[in-house]
Chain A
């Protein structure tokens, strides 16, 4: 058994201390060969799963899970400036930027990303006309030193796509469409976000865009 296979075996067995487990989890996410080694050990040990006796969870647990995963996103009426269309766009753009910052178009959809027992909440707003999705930390602490909050968008039935990290202030990213069933999520990653493009840290908060 070489060191990599040993690490894979010990991860599957569960005996490693946390830093080594996190290292193994990063490897699983970034290295398919290592993930296969872990899967092989997992398959060998899985028959022991039969020894776990089922225990009924509390009756409200499903509802708590669904509330966390599928909070109802709040649709906001689209806001328009009927007059502006008739005016000269270039001149007007300057006027808005220079004198009327408060007239930024309102979001077509807002959602609050939350998690159970999680002080962090993230406010998301989708500006359909600009094709932009905005995130800002609404409550809770900043990420600790050496860590970052990483933003993810997960189109229904597809893999998560990183939208970068969220620090102080607002982050705006180009997003063309935000259909119902899309999940927005935030994980805790090392500074700069997951180096692999796949989330490696714990999921902190999430929201799924509802039908509206």
Chain B
């Protein structure tokens, strides 16, 4: 049923409180999840806390994983990413950590695009190509770095509401392309 998705198989075993499967899942996924948290939070110690929380939620919520809706790694990344963004948003505004986080980010879509290797990533890349470059860049930055509307509006020098409607329209265009 989950052929080609060994991470999903491990999550199903974790749902049965299988600690060996939990270790195997950690081995397989921790570097990727730590990379996600580190990129969003920009601090190793905060990324450690976030990944610890993510694995705790994976252990506690594994029963809710639905292989029909997501691949195992996608589910684990979503848990980690959403928690890391919540932590980022909970920070006091304009703290030093934000500056550090911005400093390690790579704003170049060209460099990021080169990293895309998978077939489906190629498809989304094609669809990004149908967007205006600035909007594609804003969507990519929002997703990968956890940028807020405020940060994106400042970076692209547009009012916040303009940024919001840019992104909403960009997402709609992206969906039309992906579902075409």
Contacts from A to B (Cβ < 8 Å):
1, 6, 9-10, 13-18, 21-22, 25, 39, 41-58, 61-62, 64-66, 68-70, 116-117, 154, 156-160, 181, 183, 185, 202-203, 206
Q: Are A51 and B48 in contact (CB under 8 A)?
A: no
Given A42-B70, A47-B121, A61-B30: A14 touches B35 (CB 8 Å cut-off): no
What 1/0 mask marks residues of chain B from 27 to 43 whose CB sits below 8 Å from any chain A CB? 00011101110110000
Q: Are B77 and A69 in contact (CB under 8 A)?
A: no
Q: Are A65 and B52 in contact (CB under 8 A)?
A: yes
Bound together, the chains give a CA A158 to CA B62 distance in angstroms of 9
27 A-B pairs (CB sep. < 8 Å)? A1-B172, A10-B168, A13-B171, A14-B85, A15-B164, A18-B86, A22-B86, A46-B70, A47-B116, A48-B124, A49-B77, A50-B116, A50-B121, A51-B144, A52-B32, A57-B47, A61-B34, A62-B30, A65-B26, A65-B52, A65-B55, A116-B49, A154-B60, A157-B63, A160-B60, A185-B60, A206-B60
CB-CB nearest in chain A for B38: A55
Q: Are A52 and B35 in contact (CB under 8 A)?
A: yes
Q: Are B70 and A1 in contact (CB under 8 A)?
A: no
Number of residues in B with C-beta < 8 Å to the partner? Answer: 69
B44: A residues at CB distance < 8 A: 58
Q: Which of A58, A65, A68 has the most CB of B within 10 A?
A: A65
Q: Are A45 and B143 in contact (CB under 8 A)?
A: yes
Q: Are A157 and B57 in contact (CB under 8 A)?
A: no
A39: B residues at CB distance < 8 A: 69-70
